[in-house]
Structure 1
Amino acid sequence: MNKDQVEGRLDEAKGKIKSVAGKAVGNERLRAEGQADQLSGKAQKNYGDGKEKLKDVAERAIDKL
Structure 2
Amino acid sequence: MNWDIIQGKWDQLKGSVKQEWGELTDDEVTQINGDRDRLSGKLQERYGWAKADAEEKMNDFLRRQG
| TM-score in terms of structure 1 length | 0.32
Q: Which has the higher contact order (CA 8 A, sep 6+)?
A: 1
Report which of the two has the higher share of helix: 1
